[in-house]
Structure 1
């Protein structure tokens, strides 16, 4: 039975909510226009996944969040995700921000790191220039809905030639199933700047136990010579639908690195795309996921080459348990004129149950002759000979299978450059495998 999207917004409601939060008129107008588009646009067509059968009606409503004066006031389960080093930390709860801090050194260099709602008021000119410039409001019904209703969010701005040595980190969590959880992350890296951004997206309390939706959008703008490293780990409840759309637009010699850990317990639509506009721009994407019970996962990684001598690398590895289903799409598109471009991709799915399903779809769309491109894909079960070999060395069967799984995921996990993120991802992997 198909569950239709019950639109929780119209033009008047979007305008009223925006004005109640004191947003600038240009943003109120954008939200209103997007609300009107929701009624006319269709849901996105996702490869081999019927998202119209998912519960997309539990969108919730805007609920202001109560700020805290220090990270120590956060609940214990959230403090576990708060880094020891807080040169830049932002915490949002449900519909809004509750805590933020940024070192004086970074402020003096012109770095901005705050929630997007605050940035829209205090840095209006910059936000207006780039908001929805990479993920347009009129792409489909979901993009329009997000544009009308996003809340809280994250804004990162790094001026020209500034290098941020320590990662800026955010914890985006929801503990109220009735609160809209639709953060928008906007990162702008000016020419020859460098920044690493890390976030954890989490549901706890009632939001993890009853039907709810996380609807997040990420936009990365990397100017000439800029480098942006983006790491995101998602860990949400079984009843939560996670819709996460990420896009990066890259100028000459710019680079983006994506590290995505989709470790939710519920249905997941994850789409990560790099648009290589400039000559010599590059993208490196690593995605890891574990599915369990009756989860349905759609994990898409894309690279679109427009500039000459561009390079994209994509690796996705997924482990499916019980009756979980994964559709893994890798799409490399090399446009006419993108000479000397190179695109490589690998998708691998390991199935731990005869009832689990994995579908790896490497797709190359090449409109230029003077390029190189390649792909590899595999879907299979744990090799019984490997299990037998480890058991012959005195290792229990369950431990042998777990070692093989860790070895399967290691090429992605081991290349994560941030120790804290790598350790956190490892803990979540163990939780998923032991559940």
Structure 2
């Protein structure tokens, strides 16, 4: 019995072998996700399969949080993982550390990232959408010169609205050079004065339509001044050009329908309007006739003089009142003028003027005399005061033999301010003398 292993021991041994094999520690796999589940813990559980095989797989939350896309059922993926055994079930499975979308999935991932960024910048906002003219005169069509798209657009426009001018601009819609050619043709079409531009091509895979997802193409459509209808692919196909264009058409044929009115509908509309206008005009004429008949039956129109007899009499009355008013006003004005003339007698005015001039001359003479007397008195007083000041000035005093004593630039007025050996300055009429005090004699004592 000791030779028999338990299932647990066998499983542990197999797991040990797996974990020790360096070739199983990091394997690169590609396949399709199936039976995909995201646990509430954040761990991912799924199967990785191809046409012939399937393997259990899981991805821990820490690694799942680093994914740059949202995995879903059916995704084709590229995986880096280690191979081990889940002991509880005895199954081998892979533990995924890295996962990326494969092939087309990468394109979708790139598309979603660019779409998110451009939407954030506001390129898809409705505020930027320009209306499509109802009755265009010129339509520029950007698509391949051959193929179903150009035929569908051309035939639809001709059948709906043959009056419009079509400008067909041959454009590369697939291949490496297509992106730059699309941008160049959009800029060129925007200078032609067209009312609307149709940018389109037939259906295809995401790779075939990828040029219409290029950021430079999207921005060229956004910057165009002319309204643009995007008609890229079939009804189920969507490109970033559809989101930035002013209108998205499901097919090239629908783009032509959106860009033009239907001549049959226009003809019917014109006929309806013609009938409506005829009815309106007929109704207006009938109403005017009835009104004319009603007015013409009015009694005053049967005897027209009734309309103006009283007005003529009223005019005569107003004319008479106006003449009387003017006459009365003239008389009052003449009376006032006479009164003013009496007041303003010319002789009295002349006499008053002469008297006024004599009075002015007398006042002028009197004013001159007063000014002269005031000036004489002021000069006399000024001379007296100058003489008094001169008599009292220190200079005149020194002329009589007096001296001014200064000590430290201060005038000495008392012996109390001096003491023996003080340096003093004696200011005389013709100069100064520096001296030293030998003795100070006061009236009371000596120093």
TM-score with structure 1 length normalisation?
0.19
Tell me which of the two structures has the higher relative contact order, counting C-alpha pairs closer than 8 angstroms and 6 or more residues apart.
1
- Greater helix share, 1 or 2? 2
Structure with greater Cα Rg:
2
TM-score with structure 2 length normalisation?
0.19
